[in-house]
Amino acid sequence: MIVGIDLGTTNSLVGLWRDGEPRLIPNALGQLLTPSAVSIDDSGEVLVGAAARDRLSTHPQRTAAAFKRYMGTNRTLTLGDKAFRPEELSALVLRSLKADAETWLGEKIDEAIITVPAYFSDAQRKATRAAGELAGFRVDRLLNEPTAAALAYGLQEQKDTRILVVDLGGGTFDVSILELFEGVMEVRATAGDNFLGGEDFVDAIVDAFLHEVGGTAGIPPRATGAPIHGALRRQAELAKRRLSEAESAAIELVHRDRTLNWTLTRDRFAELTEPLMQRIRQPIERALRDSQIHPDDLSHIVLAGGATRMPIFRRTIARLFRRLPAQQVSPDEVVARGAAVQAGLQMQDAALKEIVLTDVAPFTLGVQVVEGINRGQRLVHDLFLPIIERNTVIPASRSKRLVTLEDNQQSLVIRVFQGEARRVKDNIELGHLNVRVPRAAAGKEAVDCRFTYDVNGILEVEATVESTGAHHRLVIEGNPGVLTPAEIEKRLAALADLKIKPRDEAENVAALARAERLFEEMLGFRREKIGDWISEFLAALDSDDPKGAARARAVLMQRLDGIEPEPFL
Amino acid sequence: MSCWQELGIAPTIDRADIRRAYASRLKSIYRDPDTLAFQRLRAAYEQALREAEGGAGPPRNGSIQVLQKTAPDRAAEQARAEVAAVLARGDATAAYSVWEAAERRGLLALADLAGFEEQLLAVVVADHVLTAGAFARIVARFQWDASVHPLRRRQPEAFRRLDDRLDAERWYDDLVERSRTWRGLFESDDRLAARQILSGPPSWSERHFLANRSPALYGDLAAVARHQEWIGDRFDQQRLAWCRGPKVPKANRNGQRVVVWIWVGMILFSLLGNVTRPGGLAVFLPVVVLILIGLVNALRRSHSRRKR
């Protein structure tokens, strides 16, 4: 059995193909969305999901969230006394999803399709694959999120369609243009911004709050990471969601036994997020330009990612395209549903008519060259020569001929870059290759440089000296953000030592975490009340009576709902 | 093997036929991990589509006039007319700001962009009064500085000029940066050269400084000449002439010589008195060292001049 997993910055989902349709699997709490948060409790047990997210405000030092933003970097996050790489935290989330799916299905699952933002780089993709392996999956394929979203929509269509997917997730922004014809789903162009997402909109609210109220109330600045910011972020997140329905939203924050009130209107919010909305436009323009499809020729505009619920986002999109985006499928679920469809395709399910998916390279790959202008009279140094251009259909293999620059030159350094700028200085260097050539006059010796890019986004560079036929090969390694197979083995052993909170306790733990969070957020009479309820609930848990505990939990949740009516998901 | 054989159909200009053939071939090969077959098929498909188009440009060449049809909105139509009028004047800064304002008010959509971009490019590469800041903003907005840009293929000549200006701007920024940073203990030739050619008309007291010519200075002067078209007006011509000038005027050099000889005379005179004392010759040692340094310097300078 293969499952499809949407591993998001804020929330993750798991789904599979069953009875001719994509099905999403609920977690231990009965919810489809599992927050991508990990926490370690005082006894050293690992909590994942809603409980961990609630502990973000009560135990910020022992909890991590939004770690997808650090995938592919060397950064470690410290929870309590243990340090984790972002891959490992993602692996813990994936493990919890795996356990949910195995319980629901009643059989073992060892293969998965994991979605990644289309604009993820080589290192970020490798990190995601490593996370899947650490969680005990064989990662069949990394599927681009916008492609997945289009799969969830595209299958209902019979005739030729062109779909533009705008995916604004928690931490990444992606745009893809896809064309479906004759059972071929072809990605025409992809563009994006790896550091723009719903979290940035929350940050904008937090910053405005700190600027207007925080200074006088004595809240330390954001960089200090004081515990109060966990609660503030939560409030800001809630306000952002409330603004999708209401004209204004209030933020209530308890700080040093005082309640701070602040009201945010829609207009003010639009003003605060204007710079972020500006950044949305450029990737869309670029994708349209690259695909050479006129905006009026698009048959659908599909929104994916929870942040696309924001009215200001929808208004901007409607204005850009002069029409309303499609919204038959919930933007939170559309990517996971698409991943489930892909899982079905992979298993060659009979209910699916055959669909072939072709994807593109998201970045341009090339080498550094010196170019002669006016028949070599003037040399321009450090230019970037693209070999595989962005949005080339993959797998692809292209080559260019490079010649020597000086008389009696003995070797040629091929430096490999990824990026779009005309100067190599502004692009990212992936590695370099030293090629020895026989001595000859300038321009007489040539090297044939071939780039091969496979379906999973792995690059291979090959250089052949034309006169001698000598081969050189570059395997891009040594990137500090990427784990080697040996390291993965080591980390796997380390993760096996971690104690995971048993699944059947998940509901109790989540209820307790929520009550504790509310205890910190409330004041006076209500705080006392919550304190009493917590002791009551703990007493019921200690009595070793599973039925009694379930009853006590239901009562507690009901009481908490009375205090905090809106569910946070 | 022609692309038509690879696709398994007779040559045609019908895009639908080509796509159908491609799709059916693709389905038969994609289960195998045979990437070479896929790459061959893909190349054939792209070639066939190009041939079907008969070498004509891309299917849509949306100019602003064409797009006006689809919009019933009066305000939007007016905004478009305004943009077209400013573009026709050839003023890139004004055209871009009118466009940006209309876009911000929501009058123009993505559909209007395609034609505008191409026309703006033509205006930008012909506009010599466009300031560096406005140029940088426009280039960044449309990502014209990228090495892969769909317009690059269609407008090679405009992009050649654009790259030229980009190079000029980059070199100028470098120069300014260079004139500001110290590296190491002594002033390097690079920094000196940058300071020599950068500011306004030379003052009298500065002329010696300008006459101190190094290979770096001649390199920079050549670069100024090369980028004359775009950044020539940012330099003071009189100053450049001074830097380039073959010789420092006689009067100055004579004055210099007189001063030097007076100093030498005074030193020798004071030293001569010491020679008669025991061990007095030792005081000449520093003088010998100084003379040697002077000699080496003179040799180096004459060498570099010959090289030029």
* Active-site annotation holds for A429: no
Residues of A in contact with B27 (CB under 8 A): 183-184, 354, 356
Q: Is residue B160 part of a domain?
A: no
Residue A22 CB neighbour total at 10 angstroms: 23
Contact B109 A184 (CB under 8 A): no
Tell me which residue in B20, B59, B111 faces A182 most closely, judged by beta carbons: B20
Decide which of B87, B121, B154 is a domain's last residue.
B154
Contact A286 B143 (CB under 8 A): yes
A103 alpha carbon, distance to own chain's centre: 26
Residues of A in contact with B145 (CB under 8 A): 421-422
Per-residue model confidence (pLDDT) at position B306: 59
Are A348 and A370 part of one and the same domain?
no
**Is a pLDDT exceeding 90 seen at residue A387?**
yes
Would an 8 Å CB–CB cutoff place A514 in contact with chain B?
A: no
Per-residue model confidence (pLDDT) at position A325: 86
Strands annotated E in A374-501: 378-388, 393-394, 396-403, 411-418, 428-436, 446-453, 459-465, 471-475, 499-500
Q: Which tokens is B41 given?
A: 């098929």
Buried b / exposed e over A342-359, threshold 16 CB at 10 Å, is: bbbbbeeeeeeeebbbbb
- Between β-strands A248-255 and A258-265, what pairing exists: parallel, antiparallel or unpaired? antiparallel
Are A191 and A79 part of one and the same domain?
yes
Would an 8 Å CB–CB cutoff place B106 in contact with chain A?
A: yes
Task: List strands edge to edge, sheet with A37-40.
Answer: A63-65, A37-40, A45-48, A499-500
Contact A322 B145 (CB under 8 A): no
How many helices and strands, by DSSP H and E, does chain A display?
Answer: 15, 28
Query: How many Å lie between the alpha carbon of B129 and the closest alpha carbon of chain A?
Result: 24
Are B84 and B139 part of one and the same domain?
yes
**Is a pLDDT exceeding 80 seen at residue B114?**
no
- Phi, psi for residue B207 in degrees, rounded to 5: -65, -30
Please report how the helices B237-244 and B189-198 are oriented relative to each other, as an axis angle in degrees rounded to 10.
140
Residues 6+ apart with CB under 8 A from B272: none
Decide which of A301, A333, A360 is a domain's last residue.
A360
Are A301 and A345 part of one and the same domain?
yes
Tell me which residue in B19, B70, B110 faces A182 most closely, judged by beta carbons: B19
Would an 8 Å CB–CB cutoff place B60 in contact with chain A?
A: yes
Would an 8 Å CB–CB cutoff place A286 in contact with chain B?
A: yes
Q: Give the chain B residue whose CA is nearest to the CA of A356.
A: B27
Are B193 and B150 part of one and the same domain?
no
Are A342 and A441 part of one and the same domain?
no
pLDDT band at A155 (very low <50, low <70, confident <90, very high): low
pLDDT band at A366 (very low <50, low <70, confident <90, very high): very high
DSSP class of residue A210 equals I
Give chain A's mean pLDDT: 85
Query: How many Å lie between the alpha carbon of A124 and the closest alpha carbon of chain B?
Result: 23
Per-residue model confidence (pLDDT) at position B169: 92
Residues of B in contact with A396 (CB under 8 A): 39, 42
Helix (H, G, I), strand (E, B) or coil at B2: coil
Name the B residues in 240-299 with CB < 8 Å from any A CB: none
Tell me which residue in B39, B149, B167 faces A380 most closely, judged by beta carbons: B167
The CA distance from A106 to B95, in Å, is: 65
Q: Is residue A164 part of a domain?
A: yes
Helix boundaries (H) for A387-502: 485-496
Percent residues over pLDDT 70 in chain B: 85
Q: Give the chain B residue whose CA is nearest to the CA of A291.
A: B150
Are A157 and A292 part of one and the same domain?
yes
Q: Residue A380's domain is classified under what CATH number?
A: 2.60.34.10
The CA distance from B93 to B162, in Å, is: 16
pLDDT digits 0-9 by tens, A48-62? 988 888 888 788 888
On whether the CB atoms of residues A312 and A280 are closer than 8 A, the answer is no
The CA distance from A238 to A251, in Å, is: 8
The CA distance from B98 to B120, in Å, is: 12
Query: How many Å lie between the alpha carbon of B47 and the closest alpha carbon of chain A?
Result: 14
DSSP class of residue A358 equals E
Catalytic residue (choose from A167, A200, A237, A333): A167
The CA distance from A59 to A295, in Å, is: 48
The CA distance from A127 to B91, in Å, is: 49
Residues of A in contact with B167 (CB under 8 A): 380
The CA distance from A173 to A169, in Å, is: 6
Helix boundaries (H) for A292-367: 311-321, 334-346
**Is a pLDDT exceeding 90 seen at residue A507?**
no
Decide which of A447, A469, A491 is a domain's last residue.
A469
Per-residue model confidence (pLDDT) at position B61: 38
Helix (H, G, I), strand (E, B) or coil at A417: strand
Label residue B279 left, alpha or beta by phi (over 0 means left) and psi (-120 to 50 means alpha).
left
Tell me how many residue pairs between chain A and chain B have CB atoms under 8 A apart. Answer: 92
Query: How many Å lie between the alpha carbon of A160 and the closest alpha carbon of chain B?
Result: 10
Helix (H, G, I), strand (E, B) or coil at A15: strand
Q: Is residue A48 part of a domain?
A: yes
Q: Give whole-number Cα distances, B87 to A89, A345, B74, B120, B154, in Å.
A: 54, 51, 20, 7, 20
| Between A133 and A479, residue with greater pLDDT | A133
| Interval A185-210 mean pLDDT | 90
Contact A423 B170 (CB under 8 A): yes
The CA distance from A85 to A71, in Å, is: 8
Q: Which helix (H) or strand (E) holds B139?
A: helix B132-142
Are A53 and A135 part of one and the same domain?
yes
Contact A421 B30 (CB under 8 A): no
The CA distance from B274 to A22, in Å, is: 105
On whether the CB atoms of residues A6 and A35 are closer than 8 A, the answer is no
Helix, strand and coil content of chain A, in percent to the nearest 5, comes to 40, 30, 30
The CA distance from B118 to B133, in Å, is: 20
Q: A113 - beta bridge partners?
A: A4, A141
Q: A367 - beta bridge partners?
A: A385, A416
B231 alpha carbon, distance to own chain's centre: 10
First to last CA, chain B: 57
On whether the CB atoms of residues B196 and B209 are closer than 8 A, the answer is yes
On whether the CB atoms of residues A267 and A312 are closer than 8 A, the answer is no
Tell me which residue in B19, B26, B145 faces A421 most closely, judged by beta carbons: B145
Domain limits for position A538: 503-563
Tell me which residue in B23, B58, B163 faces A422 most closely, judged by beta carbons: B163
Please report how the helices B237-244 and B215-226 are oriented relative to each other, as an axis angle in degrees rounded to 10.
140
* Active-site annotation holds for A167: yes
Residues of A in contact with B111 (CB under 8 A): 294-296, 321-322
Are B256 and B240 part of one and the same domain?
no
pLDDT digits 0-9 by tens, B27-77? 887 666 667 888 888 888 988 888 887 654 444 333 333 333 444 567 778
Tell me which residue in A290, A354, A422 faces B150 most closely, judged by beta carbons: A290
Would an 8 Å CB–CB cutoff place B167 in contact with chain A?
A: yes
Query: How many Å lie between the alpha carbon of B35 and the closest alpha carbon of chain A?
Result: 6
Are A38 and A164 part of one and the same domain?
yes
Tell me which residue in A184, A358, A364 faces B147 most closely, judged by beta carbons: A364
On whether the CB atoms of residues B99 and B80 are closer than 8 A, the answer is no
pLDDT band at B303 (very low <50, low <70, confident <90, very high): low
Residues across chain A: 569
Residues of A in contact with B39 (CB under 8 A): 395-397
Are B104 and B73 part of one and the same domain?
yes
DSSP class of residue A326 equals B
DSSP class of residue A458 equals -
Give me the number of domains chain B comprises. Answer: 4
Q: Is residue B159 part of a domain?
A: no
Q: Which tokens is B177 given?
A: 């940066």
Strands annotated E in B126-181: none
Which among A16, A9, A11 has a CA at the least distance from the CA of A112?
A: A16
Percent residues over pLDDT 70 in chain A: 94
Per-residue model confidence (pLDDT) at position A16: 92
Q: Which helix (H) or strand (E) holds A114?
A: strand A111-116
Are B85 and B145 part of one and the same domain?
yes
Percent residues over pLDDT 90 in chain A: 23
Residues across chain B: 308
Contact A296 B111 (CB under 8 A): yes
Tell me which residue in B114, B147, B226 faces A421 most closely, judged by beta carbons: B147
Q: Which one of A187, A281, A293, A322 makes the best mutation probe of the B interface by having the most chain B beta carbons within 10 Å?
A: A322
Query: How many Å lie between the alpha carbon of B17 and the closest alpha carbon of chain A?
Result: 11
Per-residue model confidence (pLDDT) at position B119: 87
Q: A116 - beta bridge partners?
A: A144
The CA distance from B11 to A184, in Å, is: 22
Give me the number of domains chain A comprises. Answer: 3
Q: Is residue A486 part of a domain?
A: no
Are A9 and A128 part of one and the same domain?
yes
Per-residue model confidence (pLDDT) at position A345: 85
Sign of CA dihedral A428, A283, A12, A230: positive
pLDDT digits 0-9 by tens, A307-346? 898 988 998 898 888 888 887 888 889 999 999 998 988 8
- Phi, psi for residue A148 in degrees, rounded to 5: -60, -45
On whether the CB atoms of residues B138 and B166 are closer than 8 A, the answer is no
The CA distance from A256 to A260, in Å, is: 10
pTM, two decimals, is 0.78
Q: Give the chain A residue whose CA is nearest to the CA of B106.
A: A319
Domain limits for position B275: 250-307
Predicted ipTM > 0.85: no
Query: How many Å lie between the alpha carbon of A206 and the closest alpha carbon of chain B?
Result: 26
The CA distance from A462 to A6, in Å, is: 35
Q: Which tokens is B244 given?
A: 């380039």
On whether the CB atoms of residues B79 and B107 are closer than 8 A, the answer is yes
Q: Residue A85's domain is classified under what CATH number?
A: 3.30.420.40
Are A524 and A387 part of one and the same domain?
no
Would an 8 Å CB–CB cutoff place B49 in contact with chain A?
A: no
Per-residue model confidence (pLDDT) at position A164: 93
Q: Is residue A246 part of a domain?
A: no
Of the CA atoms within 13 Å of residue A39, those in its CB half-sphere come to 24
Per-residue model confidence (pLDDT) at position A165: 92
Identity at B59, one-letter amino acid code: P
Which among A190, A169, A176, A205 has a CA at the least distance from the CA of A313?
A: A169
Decide which of A313, A345, A360 is a domain's last residue.
A360
The CA distance from A199 to A118, in Å, is: 18
Tell me which residue in B70, B110, B151 faces A285 most closely, judged by beta carbons: B110
Residues of B in contact with A322 (CB under 8 A): 109, 111
Q: Is residue B33 part of a domain?
A: yes
Q: A164 - beta bridge partners?
A: A177, A301
Contact B26 A289 (CB under 8 A): no
Are A91 and A150 part of one and the same domain?
yes
Catalytic residue (choose from A87, A88, A122, A145): A145
Are A152 and A165 part of one and the same domain?
yes
Are B29 and B99 part of one and the same domain?
no
Would an 8 Å CB–CB cutoff place B28 in contact with chain A?
A: no
| Between A61 and A12, residue with greater pLDDT | A12
Are B231 and B279 part of one and the same domain?
no
pLDDT digits 0-9 by tens, A203-238? 999 999 988 887 777 777 776 666 778 788 888 988
Residue A241 CB neighbour total at 10 angstroms: 19
Are B229 and B296 part of one and the same domain?
no
Q: Is residue B296 part of a domain?
A: yes
pLDDT digits 0-9 by tens, B285-298? 787 888 888 888 87
* Unique residue bearing structure tokens 């004047």: B89
Residues of A in contact with B117 (CB under 8 A): 289
Q: What is the CA radius of gyration of chain A?
A: 26
pLDDT digits 0-9 by tens, B162-212? 988 998 998 999 899 988 887 777 778 888 889 888 888 887 778 777 877
Q: Which helix (H) or strand (E) holds B101?
A: helix B92-104
Contact A358 B22 (CB under 8 A): no
On whether the CB atoms of residues A199 and A70 are closer than 8 A, the answer is no
Q: Is residue B161 part of a domain?
A: no
* Active-site annotation holds for A145: yes
Contact A422 B62 (CB under 8 A): no
The CA distance from A235 to B239, in Å, is: 63
Are A296 and A175 part of one and the same domain?
yes
